Amino acid sequence: MQLQKITVSHVFAICCFALASLYQPANAETLEEMMARCTGGHAQICSGMGVVYLTGDGIDQDFDEAMRLLLLGCNGGDPVGCSNLGIMYRTGLGVNQDPAAAATYYEQACDMGHAGSCNDLGVFFENGMGVTQNLVRAAQLYRRSCDDEYAVACSTLGLMYALARGVERDWEVGIRFLNLGCDLGDAGGCMSLVDAHRVGPDSVQSETLRARALSRACELDQPLGCFKLAVAHQNGEGVQQSDDIAVRYYLQSCELGDGVGCAGAGWMIVQGRGAEQDYFRALPLLEQACDANFAAGCSFLGIFYREGHGVEQDLEQAARLFQTACDAGDGPGCQNLGFLFENGQGVEQDDVEARQLYGRACDLGTERACELR
């Protein structure tokens, strides 16, 4: 059974940088006043100003000054200062990259109750970054962070229970933590929950619960979640079958940058399913799909130029689009290009090239091409 693993890049949080806007000085006088307060022992002010210098938000970026101020904040008991020092050493921002030093600062911040740092330290222990790998310790840190409602930590903990990493496998507990992460706003956790309801034991498999998790992921602007929710409505998997709703979610996926969603919406509109048939409306959607390197989108678009749907017929452009699709591994694209070579449309007639293209399309699983090779 396969369950998607949340990646390190998904788990790490760099939320602390956002605090810069809270401390951005309005003018030189307020900057001096805040520096005076920092010197006077206000650790949070020191950390906040350190973030300002770290990000260059409203002031010249100065890593040395950022380091000095963040150290004052951290040593003064402010977890934000320690957490941002961890980020600097983890990423090599203004300092030599040093995972061990990053882990030390994350641990300090975690001990001060900073949920994000507990999560980040958990990532270090899970992956052996700057510390000796210790899955049990990682799970404990994720649990501590999750107890403070840190969404990504809950999702990761759920996966650890599902995959038996640092804890005994317990699908019911894993599902509970994945649900919690998803409900708290972690779209990656929602998508892992979808996988869990698909490949987990019979006791947790459920098309209805998969669709519910997809809906939440889509609410959180996860493009793949919107796309899969569209497919679920198109096929009636765990939700009512509705082409109208399917088109809506395909369009939402497309708006979020998913080329496959653009192609799905365009092709539904071409077929008049869930929307009035409209080649002119479908055309820009298929262009977006092709521009996003979705091979089938280029193939669909090639058909538009071959047939003159919504555009002036242009067989040379159709051939170029079919070639792009074929080069990217789209069987129908290879077959359609073969047809153009066989008939000398938009390209010089070449039976040998046509047969080779039919053969490639067949190898890619396009059954009709197998009859033509």
- Binned average pLDDT, 10 residues per bin, the chain of 373 residues: 41 39 48 88 93 88 96 96 96 96 98 97 97 98 98 98 96 97 97 94 92 98 97 96 98 97 96 96 97 96 95 96 97 97 96 96 95 87
Category of 59 on φ-ψ map: left (φ > 0), alpha (ψ -120 to 50) or beta: beta
Residues 126 and 153: beta-carbon distance below 8 Å: no
DSSP string, 39-55: HTT-HHHHHHHHHHHHH
Predicted local confidence at residue 19, as pLDDT:
44
The whole-angstrom separation of Cα 248 and Cα 355 is: 40
**Residue with token string 């047939």:** 307
Domain ranges of the chain: 1-142, 149-220
pTM of the model: 0.83
- Contacts for 352 with CB less than 8 Å, ≥ 6 apart: none
Predicted local confidence at residue 3, as pLDDT:
55
Residues 204 and 197: beta-carbon distance below 8 Å: yes
**pLDDT tens-digit series, residues 205-247:** 999 999 999 999 999 999 999 999 999 999 999 999 999 999 9
Q: Do domains 1-142 and 149-220 have the same CATH topology?
A: yes
* Dihedral sign of CA atoms 299, 300, 303, 304 in order: negative
Distance of CA 171 to the CA centre of its chain: 24
Predicted local confidence at residue 11, as pLDDT:
32
The whole-angstrom separation of Cα 190 and Cα 183 is: 8
Asked: is 149-220 a CATH 1.25.40.10 domain? The reply is: yes
Phi, psi dihedral angles at 84 (to 5 degrees): -70, -30
Asked: is 1-142 a CATH 1.25.40.10 domain? The reply is: yes
Category of 103 on φ-ψ map: left (φ > 0), alpha (ψ -120 to 50) or beta: alpha
Map residue 241 onto helix, strand or coil.
Answer: coil
The whole-angstrom separation of Cα 271 and Cα 240 is: 20
